[in-house]
Amino acid sequence: MLKLGKNDLGVFGFVVAITLLAPFLMNPFPEGSALAQFNAGYPDLMQRFVIFGIFAIGFNILFGLTGYLSFGHAAFLGVGSYAAVWMFKLLTMNIIPAIILAVLISGLFALVIGYVSLRRSGIYFSILTLAFAQMSFSLAYSVLTPITNGETGLQITLNDPRVLDTVNTTGNLPVTGLFGLEMRDTATLEIAGWAFQFNVGFYVSALIMLAAFYLSIRVFRSPFGLMLRAIKTNQNRLNYTGLNSRPYTLAAFVISGMYAGLAGGLMASMDPLAGAERMQWTASGEVVLMTILGGAGTLLGPILGAGFIKYFENIFSKINDNVLHGWFNFMPDFMENVMVTIIHPFVGKGWHLTLGLLFMIIVIFLPGGLVDGGTRLWKRLLTRKQDNSSSVVATTPAK
């Protein structure tokens, strides 16, 4: 089915299910309960899950398959966002032209940066991409202000031409949409104590992510993907086998740059503004973390990694001392204060600390990332079951 192998179909089906059911799955705790803090089922965050999912899926095509570690992919995300906002300003608030332009421009940008950076490999490649991204970041703040609107960031205004849209007489800023559907529209389903939110922007992004994910599976399983893996394992051998690896790495670089541009375009489609900080090296580093955390070179890894990091960023950073006191107020005052003091550095503004520790634990104990850990656990469970029933176990891991 869908021209996918059995395992891949399983993985794809799993991702389709969790993505489409995300408004339920991310909202396990009833409204108003003490644990409602940990709900992630609100539109903003769910949009970010899938958009960063796209970013990481694309990054994984480059890093996971070829082993070339780019430290500048946020530049393509930023370029995609700027391109999309310009479409909203000049053409229409419909997100389709915006997204198409975002992908094309970032692809072109990736072609140029990739062409130069891929003349080197290893650490030198990483440094070159980093340098390009920082250069783009600085340019966006300075020389390119007419295009990027500098520190303020690029926004839509009432005076923009928007040649395809009807004249706006409401006096309010127009909103992004897709043939009448507004991205910010949200339907809420209330069942007992729960309130599940279904947002148009999330579902549009989710469908695009699923398409992007499907495409990445096909790339992974294609001869082209096999060549990319060959580059990672032994580029030397590949050259003596009659293949010039450069066009392959460049194609992978451009594809992953286009994924990043797609993510950037979608980001702008959810909220039509673009700022240079999206291109900063921390943003490039984040997608590296996502991919490694989830499992570089695995299909599912980048999606899990993106979800994991975005969840921490948004949920843990919201837990402040008041919330902590709320949790521990069943304890005597003295104990309560001790507990709050202990946990305080790890939450709120300190969420980076928690994330950093988790990252270290995962990299040290699960070098293959979350997917690897999951696979090992799964295998262990299977073998235990097998002892009882002696069933046949699949040899290929369910990556």
Partner 1 sequence: MGILEVTNVNKRFGGLRALHDLNLSVDEGTVHAIIGPNGAGKSTMLNCFVGRLIPDSGSVMFNGASLLGLKPHEINQTGVARVFQTPEIFGDLSLLDNVVIPALAKHDGAFKLNAWQRVTSRLEIREEAEHILEVVGLIEQKATICSSLSRGDKRRLELAMCLIQHPKLLLLDEPTAGMSRADTNNTIDLLKKIGERGITKIIIEHDMHVVFSLATKISVLAQGTIIAQGPPEEIKGDPRVIEAYLGGELG
What is d(CA 106, CA 267) in angstroms, rounded to the nearest whole number? 14
What is d(CA 56, CA 71) in angstroms, rounded to the nearest whole number? 13
Minimum CB separation of residue 242 from partner 1 in Å reads: 4
Considering only 80-88, 142-150, 198-206, 239-247, which stretch makes contact with partner 1 by CB under 8 A? 239-247
Looking at residues 249 to 278 of the shown chain, list those that interact with partner 1 (rule: CB under 8 A): 251
State the Cα torsion 103-104-110-115 to the nearest 10°: 150
Rule CB under 8 A: say whether 388 interacts with partner 1: no
Taking 3-state DSSP, the helix, strand and coil percentages for the chain, each rounded to the nearest 5, stand at 70, 5, 25
What is d(CA 78, CA 233) in angstroms, rounded to the nearest whole number? 31
Amino acid at 165: D
Q: What are phi and psi of 163, to 5 degrees?
A: -60, -30
Minimum CB separation of residue 87 from partner 1 in Å reads: 27
One residue of 18, 24, 196, 229 binding partner 1 per CB under 8 A: 229
Q: Give the E-state strand segments of 286-399 in sequence order.
A: none
Between 232 and 379, CB nearer to partner 1: 232
Q: How far is CA 258 from CA 75, 122, 275, in A?
A: 11, 22, 19
Rule CB under 8 A: say whether 238 interacts with partner 1: yes
Between 91 and 108, CB nearer to partner 1: 108
One residue of 159, 170, 172, 236 binding partner 1 per CB under 8 A: 236
Rule CB under 8 A: say whether 232 interacts with partner 1: yes
Give the 3-state secondary structure of residue 3.
Answer: coil
Q: What's the length of the chain?
A: 399
Cβ 148 vs Cβ 276: under 8 Å: yes
Rule CB under 8 A: say whether 393 interacts with partner 1: no
One residue of 184, 237, 376, 385 binding partner 1 per CB under 8 A: 237
One residue of 147, 226, 342, 361 binding partner 1 per CB under 8 A: 226
Rule CB under 8 A: say whether 242 interacts with partner 1: yes
Minimum CB separation of residue 310 from partner 1 in Å reads: 28
Q: How far is CA 59 from CA 107, 238, 256, 273, in A?
A: 13, 23, 5, 23
One residue of 50, 154, 209, 230 binding partner 1 per CB under 8 A: 230
Rule CB under 8 A: say whether 233 interacts with partner 1: yes
Number of amino acids touching partner 1 (CB under 8 A) = 30
Q: What are phi and psi of 190, to 5 degrees?
A: -105, 120
What is d(CA 209, CA 18) in angstroms, rounded to the nearest whole number? 12
Minimum CB separation of residue 385 from partner 1 in Å reads: 23
Amino acid at 1: M
Rule CB under 8 A: say whether 376 interacts with partner 1: no
The encoded tokens of residue 343 equal 């946990």
Minimum CB separation of residue 251 from partner 1 in Å reads: 6
Considering only 81-89, 116-124, 233-241, 326-334, which stretch makes contact with partner 1 by CB under 8 A? 233-241
One residue of 157, 159, 170, 244 binding partner 1 per CB under 8 A: 244
Contacts with partner 1, residue ranges (CB under 8 A): 3, 5, 215, 218-219, 221-227, 229-230, 232-234, 236-244, 247-248, 251, 395
